[in-house]
Structure 1
Amino acid sequence: MKALLIAEKPSLMRDIQKVYKKMQLPYEIDFTSFVGHVVELKEPHEYKAEWKKWDLNLLPMIPERYEFRVKKSAYKVYKEIEQVLKTNRYDFIINACDAGMEGENIFYSFYKRVGCKLPVKRFWTSQTTDNAIFKALLNLIDEQDLLIRNLRNAAMYRTIFDWLIGLNLTRAATVKGGRIIKIGRVMTPTLAIVVKRELEVLQFKPEPYFQIELDLGQFKALWFSPKTNENKLKTMEEAQSILSRIGNTATVQDIKTERKTMSAPPLHSLLELQKEANKFFGFTSSETLKIAQSLYEKKLITYPRTESKHLPTSFAQNIKMQLQTLASLNEYGSIVQEVLNRPDAIQRTIRSKKYVDDKKLTDHHAITVTEVAIGKKKLSLQELKIYHLIARRLLAIFMPAYVIDKTAVLLKSNEEFFKANGNMVIDKGYTILYDAFKKKQELPLPPLQLSMQLPIKDAKILSKVTEPPARYTDSTLLDAMFHAGRFIEDKELQKILKDAEGIGTSATRAEIIEKLISIGMIAREGKSFKATQFGIDVIQSIGEHDIVSPELTAIWSKKLKDIVDGQLSSGQFYKEMLAYVKQTTDGFVSLNLNVAEKQMVVVGKCLQCGQAVVEGFKGYSCSNKACKFFISKTIMKGKITPTDAKKLLNGKETREIRFTWKSGKKGKAKLKLVNEKLEFVFPAPTKDK
């Protein structure tokens, strides 16, 4: 027997190939690979010529049969695999795409497009270590396995649903609004979240308030009202009146100390890793995903696109291999040895449902390091930072808890009351791993006793103003998308959204954010996101339409999960989906979209015809539609800013831009237009080189 194994990426294909050469299987395997998605659903006009027109009377566009086309960027790969299938006789295909819904989508969309009829076996593993690959090759899953079949159906219908919603509502909005307005079932609710916060910031009116602070030498205390428990005063007059009544001493009225014991947080899902990387290093969500994917392909961490924060029992019982891998790193050697010397603590962690729970697993388990050591692998600084975040989180769950005594003291001076708080660290526990990230140390209160009188060294009024809510960062926006149930009132839908783990998935949220930036609806301002006027206009014009609410994606995500769990048939899902698409498109067509005209940013004069060159979504093009002059915004992963474009058009060199060459090597260079063609200008080598 002979099989063709198709991996999702060349790197995975090579890893499987290496292990296969050491095995003896009852069949022969040939190898090939995709490069991610190689096909996509056809554009509307490829189904019907009349759908090329952006006409409200043609909506909704619903194909009788959904067909795929080959992606231009993957045409060569598609044709090569197609040729392999035509010229060789195979008994079955091995689907070695990533173990999850998206992996099923990548494989079966190709399978349908190429017209393959061969049986399929599923290669299924969340790791790319030799041992995991060996086990997966020995235990191929039949394509008729109920879970795999349901997963495949859910993946296909999710793709179709997004096509129907995105294209129909985008066309309706664009025609009604007079400019390109993209709509999506996850993208639009995410935009609405950012817009809501932006309006809160813009409409915020700062209000002054006052506080009274006592300086008691070793610590400070704030005045508060025992009736309202409020420590803010609205007027300076009130504050001055209270200040005048304060004596020379303060008496300790009450002392309460509470011991808090905090065990390490759960392991990383992709969401948690993205949030932590943004908090500690300022990485964007898309940057973290890209770095984690690179570490996965280098076999240093498990599959990163996971929603789970738990490990399966079978994996946890062999966790010593991962711990021993970390023992080879100077940062963790002594800590790992302490952990390995306490087998009881290891077993206690494995038995804890906080970290190990088979019932809380999604398609993949939590992210952790593998048994493959870094060794001599060359990692970038960014890769090392992410690897160490994952390593620390794994080690932390086997270390002692962080123990702290939280003390609150109540003081009285004449008839005025004051509060002070202090924290005493009893055991640093797992937090010793994070000492480098701590911005402030815990400050304990000095030894105090009831009725003790303390001299007041100073009493002063603090003048402050209320501050607007903070704009979203990568970390807080990802968190808002995950906890999108906060934005709806219906309790049942809140629960559905919680079960569905918010809007989008760990694998797609970063992409959604970057797409909103690229189409000009939101913009980065430092580490924060700011809704543009265009984005605000879109959300305000759509109003209460359900495409704006997280409820929509919650309900349909639940239905997809029901398909995977076997609780909803694909046929019934499709029937409900069509009814919704028709209803919501009709509702959208009746909207009045009041979206301001886009202001074109002129970056210079065209070198070919002399007309204005303006900024677009993908680059800088001549405003003369007959002219083909164009400078892309992204060249070899390097970002060309409007300032760069202005310099190029003025015959100057750009700033140094970081590029990624075809080999994968990264480096910096400037750009210059020479005879209307972009050329790299590399820095001159230093004398010692």
Structure 2
Amino acid sequence: MRLFIAEKPSLGRAIAAVLAKPHRKQDGCIYSADGDCVTWCVGHLLEQAEPQHYDPAFKKWSLEHLPIVPENWQLMPKAKTKKQLAVIKSLLREADSVVHAGDPDREGQLLVDQVLAYLGVKGERAASVQRLLISDLNPPAVRQALTQLRSNREFIPLSTSALARSRADWLYGINMTRAYTLQGRKVGYDGVLSVGRVQTPVLGLVVKRDAEIEHFVSHPFYQVEALLEPIGVADEDAGKRFSASWQPSEACRPYQDEQGRVISKPLAENVCSRIEGQQGVVKAVDKRLKKYNAPLPFNLSALQIEASKRFAMTAQQVLEHCQQLYERYQLITYPRSDSRHLPVAQHAMAPRVCASLAENISELAQELTAVDYSRRSRAWNDSKVDAHHAIIPTEKRMAVASLSEPLQQLYLLISRFYLAQFYPPYQYNETAVRVEIAGGMFVAKAKQLVDVGFKRVLPDRRQQQDSFLPPLVVGQSCLCRTAKLLEKQTEPPKPYDDATLLAAMTGIARHVSSAEVRKILKDTDGLGTEATRAGIIELLFRRKFLRRAAKTITATAAGRGLVASLPESATTADMTAQWEASLNAISERQIRYGCFMQPLQQSLYPLIAEAQAVLPEALKGLPVEKGGGGKKRRRSTGGGRGSTAAKARAGRR
């Protein structure tokens, strides 16, 4: 018997659907007519053992016990899913061969690998396990995937990397959370001070932004606009005036702020008085055709950011809705993807996918008539696709109008970004003219649309409005009719919302000062993973460290107090950057597991000593908000997969 072990029941049913019929359903599995069997996990069947399982004394939180570092790591069956674990154990006894069908990501790889190891699959039997990677639950895609089984041994580094991440998050989260919670009690704060490798730097981002807004002092800055009229133009062009903006020279640098804005009103007034009524000379005329290719299809973070901007959806709502579109309706491919590219082989599927879109979404019918299937955008790139690819619509046909509005919105958005790959670039002509007046340089620009291109299917993406300049040539004279002084005020940064906080997490390199750390972060996925970012944000809300007002996200007093009490290394992305670099190196066979874990374990001792040396005075006198994690609440850890499981996994991060 060949035994398939899927990550979830929905995936198990999709695999069984393409196996020989008739089927025989039993508790926790499905047998096919030819004797193959499909079973499944229900998210994580196993979880990291709690500290008290290593030593009963650890049940009581005490600084004397810290740091807690297990010598032999233990996994425990989850109480709610013990029955399904027993089903898999029984089926493994019958199986001649095993196919690992976890979700196509790091966590999915580890999830099933841990079950196999826990149930005693070792040696030659473990070496013979095959890996099935499925990103589309529709039968044609599942059948295709079954023809492309790979050895599960290929994915050992990926699984080892996920294991190291899981254990490291446990070590850091358990020890730092206990240390600071106990210190908090000494100053009267009775809540759980959850500290994690990812969640705390995310909180640090929000606290820092709030502080910047609170302490922001607005100041005026000045711009100069010149209204110019060409001299000696043809009669039909006579009187055609245009505006040009002053470009401060290097000599003006002492009168500018860090963003290059002129903050000296007398300087700007002097420029106005010097140029008004004066003749200038055109120094340069630069005409260029600008082309912009279609944006790539979505990964999860990009989709969450776009949906937040367009539909005011939270990151968690997008993830949950996408899980429905994938698992229940099979309308999109695997949603927890971190890739925005597609395998080249999938290009041939485009006519079938688009035919389904034409039937599913009536409003796309007109756009589909202009699709060019011979066009292959930069999205199709095998070198940037491994276990999973970008989120795209599938060939499934159904009455999409029957879905809830959020599901329709996301499906249409994903579909439009897919269709955009078969449209030409958005193109416009841009003319830039540089005019020198009384020793100062002024620039005017004009743009004219050439081809709307992919924006035909993304009509709400901002398009350039046509603007014009009179025909000008180098050396031509222009008269400055008037000079206008524009006084403006600097504005504080905007508070975070779901879209901008997610963008900050994925582009965290922009928020660190070290060039070395920035490089590491640019080469990694940022803070968190596609599957965990929404859960991490939600965790901070549940812990009452963040609050939401309409779309705005700000830190609570407890959140600010926690960040103020922690060492800077815990509230910035630098440590996460180093971790991610090492974890990626493990997945790429560049370093071993121990090279990452041993230094981490040693680093816990000075971290705990630092926590014990300082009382978190910033939390003194703060009440614990209702639901914010008092003493009776479990500290934030967890395991599991799925819409609620990602939140649980985020607890240690």
The alignment's TM-score, normalised by the length of structure 2, stands at: 0.81
Cα deviation digits, residues 639-668 of structure 1 (max 9, x gap): xxxxxxxxxxxxxxxxxxxxxxxxxxxxxx
Contact 1:69 1:113 in 2 (8 A): no
Query: Match of 2:356?
Result: 325
Contact 2:54 2:70 in 1 (8 A): yes
Query: Match of 2:305?
Result: 275
> Shift of residue 164 of structure 1?
0.8
1:78 equivalent to 2:82? Answer yes
Instruction: Specify which of 204, 224, 234 is matched with residue 263 of structure 2.
Output: 234
- Unaligned 5+ segments in structure 2 are 24-31, 229-239, 633-642, 644-653
Cα distance change, pair 35–407 in 1 and its aligned pair in 2 (3 A):
same
Tell me which protein shows more helix as a share of its residues. Answer: 2
1:262 equivalent to 2:292? Answer yes
Query: Match of 2:570?
Result: 547
Cα distance change, pair 517–228 in 1 and its aligned pair in 2 (3 A):
farther
* Larger deviation, residues 370-379 vs 61-70: 370-379
Contact 1:249 1:454 in 2 (8 A): yes
Query: Match of 1:198?
Result: 210
Q: Report the 3-state secondary structure (helix = DSSP H, G, I; strand = E; otherwise coil) of the residue aligned with 1:211.
A: strand
Query: Match of 2:649?
Result: none
2:7 partner amino acid: E
* Larger deviation, residues 170-179 vs 23-32: 23-32
2:172 partner amino acid: I
1:308 equivalent to 2:339? Answer yes
> Shift of residue 102 of structure 1?
1.0
Query: Match of 1:54?
Result: 61
Q: Report the 3-state secondary structure (helix = DSSP H, G, I; strand = E; otherwise coil) of the residue aligned with 1:197.
A: helix
Cα distance change, pair 214–138 in 1 and its aligned pair in 2 (3 A):
closer
2:345 partner amino acid: S
Cα deviation digits, residues 357-413 of structure 1 (max 9, x gap): 222224311121112234467322111221222212222122111111222334567
Q: Report the 3-state secondary structure (helix = DSSP H, G, I; strand = E; otherwise coil) of the residue aligned with 2:291.
A: strand
1:332 partner amino acid: L
> Shift of residue 306 of structure 1?
1.4
Instruction: Specify which of 269, 282, 286 is matched with residue 253 of structure 1.
Output: 282
Q: Distance in 1 between matches of 2:615 and 2:357?
A: 60
* Larger deviation, residues 427-436 vs 323-332: 323-332
Contact 1:523 1:529 in 2 (8 A): yes
Q: Distance in 2 between matches of 1:225 and 1:581?
A: 52
Query: Match of 1:176?
Result: 183
Q: Distance in 1 between matches of 2:626 and 2:381?
A: 51
1:394 equivalent to 2:433? Answer no
1:79 partner amino acid: K
Q: Report the 3-state secondary structure (helix = DSSP H, G, I; strand = E; otherwise coil) of the residue aligned with 1:128.
A: coil
- Unaligned 5+ segments in structure 1 are 602-613, 626-636, 638-689
> Shift of residue 486 of structure 1?
3.0
Paired residues in the alignment total: 594
Cα distance change, pair 323–473 in 1 and its aligned pair in 2 (3 A):
same
> Shift of residue 12 of structure 1?
2.0
Q: Distance in 2 between matches of 1:2 and 1:422?
A: 66
Query: Match of 1:605?
Result: none
State the structure with bigger RCO (CA 8 A, min sep 6), 1 or 2.
2
Contact 1:247 1:414 in 2 (8 A): no
Contact 2:449 2:464 in 1 (8 A): no
Query: Match of 2:105?
Result: 100
1:19 equivalent to 2:18? Answer yes
Q: Report the 3-state secondary structure (helix = DSSP H, G, I; strand = E; otherwise coil) of the residue aligned with 2:402.
A: coil
2:371 partner amino acid: V
1:127 equivalent to 2:139? Answer no
Contact 2:299 2:335 in 1 (8 A): yes
Contact 1:600 1:615 in 2 (8 A): no
Q: Distance in 1 between matches of 2:169 and 2:601?
A: 12
The alignment's TM-score, normalised by the length of structure 1, stands at: 0.77
Alignment RMSD (CA, Å): 3.4
> Shift of residue 171 of structure 1?
0.8
Q: Distance in 1 between matches of 2:520 and 2:548?
A: 31
Contact 2:221 2:487 in 1 (8 A): yes
Cα deviation digits, residues 139-187 of structure 1 (max 9, x gap): 5445xx3223333332222211111110001111112232421111111
Instruction: Specify which of 626, 629, 632 is matched with residue 615 of structure 1.
Output: 626
Q: Report the 3-state secondary structure (helix = DSSP H, G, I; strand = E; otherwise coil) of the residue aligned with 1:253.
A: strand
Cα deviation digits, residues 566-606 of structure 1 (max 9, x gap): 333334444344333345434443344333246448xxxxx
Q: Output aligned runs, 1:183-582, within 5 Å.
A: 183-213=195-225, 220-226=243-249, 233-234=262-263, 236-244=265-273, 247=276, 253-254=282-283, 255-297=285-327, 298-328=329-359, 329-340=361-372, 343=374, 345-346=375-376, 349=377, 354-375=378-399, 378-411=402-435, 418-438=442-462, 441-450=464-473, 451=476, 453=478, 456=481, 460-544=484-568, 546-582=569-605
Q: Report the 3-state secondary structure (helix = DSSP H, G, I; strand = E; otherwise coil) of the residue aligned with 2:12.
A: helix
Q: Distance in 2 between matches of 1:256 and 1:535?
A: 52
Q: Report the 3-state secondary structure (helix = DSSP H, G, I; strand = E; otherwise coil) of the residue aligned with 2:534.
A: helix
Q: Distance in 2 between matches of 1:271 and 1:23?
A: 41
Cα distance change, pair 318–562 in 1 and its aligned pair in 2 (3 A):
same
> Shift of residue 250 of structure 1?
7.0
